[in-house]
Amino acid sequence: MGLALAGRAAGLLWISVLLVSSATSSALDFSNKVHDGLDRAGRKSILQSGTPSDLTSSSGRSMKGREYKIDLSNLERILGVKLNQENSGGEILRKSRADTAGSAGILGTLSEQGLVYVKEVLVNEILAEVTPLDIPDIITRVNSPIGRVDTMITQIVLSGATVHYSDIELGQTGITIYAAGIKASLVMDWRYQYTATYVPFPVQDGGRAEVEVTGMQAGATFSMSETNGTLTLHVEECGTYIENLEITLHGGASWLYQWRVFVYAFDAQIRTSVETQITKQMTTGAEQLDNWLLHLPRRVPIDDTSAIDVTVVHDPLLSPTFLSVGAKGEFVSLVSPKPYPEPDTELPAGLFCDQSVKMLTIALSDYVLNSAGFVYYDSGFLQWDVDELPGKKYLNTASWKYIIPQLYKKYPNEDMVLNFAVSAPPKVVLSRDGISSVTSADMTIKVKDATTLEQTPVACISLAISMDAIADLDEGNITAQATLNDLTVSLKWSDVGNFPVYLVQATVRTIVKDVVVPLLNLNLRRGFPLPVVAGVTLQNSDLRYEDGYIMVCTDIHYKGGFFHLKKLGEQSGTSKLVLDQ
């Protein structure tokens, strides 16, 4: 034992010199190889910034760097953006291309509060799912005239990461999300072996090590664009920088190796490996998220008759204070698809409810509702047979003998069926006063034979109907309830002779109000879903009417399940992003 310790002590000076002299160059060589590979993929690999000098909050909420006197000059230079700027209002920084896929019927806009919340969710999810993170083993060999040193750092695991500051910026280059003041812990096995011709036996030792990482910064800049009706995500810049490492060795003669000159050899290699692996993880995760976006459905089924076309129609609109994404929003038929005219006007970007502090605003133009009316009219669903009423009132010719005497005379005491059929697609108008609709319909009076139950049409009355409606939200669905406003009638044709049609107006109005409108409301109460990502629910929602569109102003809550990270391929020490729909 004494001879072994003497050999370690005698060779320690030479080992330290070899390790320290080669540590920087070997770490840089390793880093450059990995970074060159990332650069060939079109991404910058190292993101550096000064250490935050006054980080006092660990709440996870976004706190502007200027409040903490954080030096972001290096970060700005590498990402090519100006960070922590005072918001300049709603000026659009990135606009749609000229070759857009049409006008948006639905426009979703994240406010500054919404962007902060999305950032917090992303940061927390990434921290929770990426850690613990396996770092590839570090193995180096240094040859020199005085001997050879082999070092191995294995079983490297990063865990316990906390973020003291994070933020999100929207600019000309895209969306930048970054975090600073990150603390993390690493554990690992270390081992070295020194061999030389004049040393009769190898000098070797090993043990465990603990590493405290402080002042780490990580960030990425993404660009988003519309491609073939969906959003694509591209990483423009991505990287990680570690300011400080504190290494504590355990096992073996660790008390001897704890000299700063010896620990420095491990420092450079660990720093480079961790920075590179985290950067690769962020890049891989972004690529998987882009793939998930690519496979999002372009249509959301409503029922067996229709679906909503939610294809993205233009590049996202970016501003320092909001992000807007437009979707087609057209109802399409699953039975017999037919083209529907494009909307007359474009929804304006940056729609908010009276400077609302709500996170998300979803605007729906009247184009969405009118396309729904067209689909259901064309599919033959806007018609109803009324053959049951309380007390059979109005469903026997005896009830009409003073209104249409010739009907009773020709078909005395016969049961009747009233068929209501919309004769043209309804026209929905959205205004600051609410929702109104006008439509035309035909009410066909049919007499039912008591023996054969055969129905014989005897007269048809044209109806001009106007209704008002109130919209509501029910678990993410837009619902409505209609009330009859006005109704006028005219005789379209009759097999029982002409009759003064104004005499039937009161009766028809009662039937429409008490029977047809409630039948319509059964469908309106089911509503249709807002295009919200799975795993996200709406909270504290309000509705506001405007001329030509309706706005849903709401907070959002992430309940999980949108995506999760699973570590696959543990032998290779890599991680893969697995996304759930």
CA distance 313 to 108: 12
Query: How many whole angstroms separate alpha carbon 548 and alpha carbon 431?
Result: 6
Residues 6+ apart with CB under 8 A from 336: 378, 379
Last residue of a domain, one of 240, 272, 295: 295
Token pair belonging to 30: 């390793």
Q: 102 with 328: CB under 8 angstroms?
A: yes
- Quick one: pLDDT at residue 79? 56
Q: Clarify whether residues 365 and 273 are in a common domain.
A: no
Please check whether residue 29 lies inside any domain of the structure: no
pLDDT of amino acid 548:
93
* 263 shares its domain with 319: no
Please calculate the CA angle 180-181-185 and round it to the nearest 5 degrees.
Answer: 120
Distance CA 310, CA 108 (A): 11
Asked if residue 565 is part of any domain, the answer here is no
Q: Are residues 290 and 308 in the same domain?
A: no
Beta partners for residue 431, in sequence order:
434
**378 and 233 within one domain:** no
Do 234 and 313 share a domain, yes or no?
no
The reported pLDDT for the residue numbered 71 is: 57
Q: Is 44 left (phi over 0), alpha (psi -120 to 50) or beta?
A: beta
How many domains does the chain fold into? 2
Residue 414 is assigned to a structural domain of this protein = yes
Please state, in angstroms and rounded to a whole number, the distance separating the CA atoms of residues 163 and 179: 7
Tokens, residue 545: 């009417």
- Please report the pLDDT score of residue 547 as a whole number: 93
Q: Domain boundary at 295, 324, 359, which?
A: 295
446 sits in which H/E element:
strand 434-448
Cβ atoms of residues 553 and 358 within 8 Å: yes
The reported pLDDT for the residue numbered 308 is 94
pLDDT of res. 359: 92
Q: What per-residue confidence (pLDDT) applies to 103?
A: 84
Same domain assignment for residues 525 and 546: yes
Any residues with CB less than 8 A from the CB of 562 and at least 6 apart, and which? 533, 534, 535, 536, 579, 580
Interatomic CA distance for residues 467 and 450, integer angstroms: 36
Domain that holds residue 137: 132-295
In a domain, 109, yes or no: no
**CA torsion 491→493→496→499, rounded to 10°?**
20
**140 and 152 assigned to the same domain:** yes
Contacts of 37 (CB under 8 A, 6+ apart): none
What residue type is assigned to position 63 of the chain? Answer: M
Whether 52 is in a domain gets the answer no
With beta carbons less than 8 A apart as the criterion, state whether 426 and 463 touch.
no
Residues 6+ apart with CB under 8 A from 111: 321, 322, 352, 356, 357, 358, 359, 360, 361
Q: Are residues 245 and 275 in the same domain?
A: yes
- Asked if 312 and 218 sit in the same domain, the reply is no
Task: Return the closest-CA partner of residue 439 out of 461, 462, 418.
Answer: 462
Residues across the chain? 581
Q: Which residues is 550 bridged to in the sheet?
A: 364, 545
Q: What is the CATH number of the domain that holds 207?
A: 3.15.10.10
Tens of each residue's pLDDT in the chain, 581 residues? 443 444 444 344 444 444 444 444 444 443 443 344 333 333 333 333 333 323 223 333 343 444 445 555 555 655 565 665 555 455 555 454 444 456 899 999 998 899 999 888 888 877 777 778 888 898 888 787 777 888 888 999 998 888 888 888 887 778 888 888 889 999 999 888 888 877 778 888 888 888 999 888 888 888 889 988 889 988 888 888 888 888 888 876 655 455 444 566 678 888 888 888 888 888 887 888 888 888 888 898 999 999 999 999 989 888 888 889 999 999 999 998 998 888 878 888 777 776 567 899 999 999 999 999 999 999 999 999 998 876 657 789 998 988 899 999 999 999 999 999 999 999 999 999 999 999 999 999 999 988 888 999 999 999 999 999 999 988 888 999 999 999 999 999 999 999 999 999 999 999 999 999 999 999 899 888 888 777 788 899 889 999 999 999 999 998 875 555 443 333 333 333 233 33
Give the number of other Cβ atoms within 10 Å of residue 475's Cβ: 9
- What per-residue confidence (pLDDT) applies to 549? 94
Cα separation, 94 vs 317, whole angstroms:
6
Do 288 and 324 belong to one domain?
no
- What are phi and psi for residue 492, nearest 5 degrees? -90, -50
Asked, for residue 522, whether it belongs to a domain, the answer is yes
**Residue 381 within any structural domain of the chain:** yes
Q: What is the CATH number of the domain that holds 499?
A: 3.15.20.10
Do the beta carbons of residue 192 and residue 150 sit within 8 Å?
yes
Q: Is residue 38 part of a domain?
A: no
Q: Same structural domain for residues 288 and 306?
A: no
> Are 271 and 310 members of one domain?
no
CA pair distance 46, 61, nearest whole angstrom: 25
Token pair 């005379």 is at which residue? 409
Q: Which residue, of 254, 278, 295, is where some domain finishes?
A: 295
H or E element, residue 488: strand 477-494
The model scores a pTM over 0.85: no
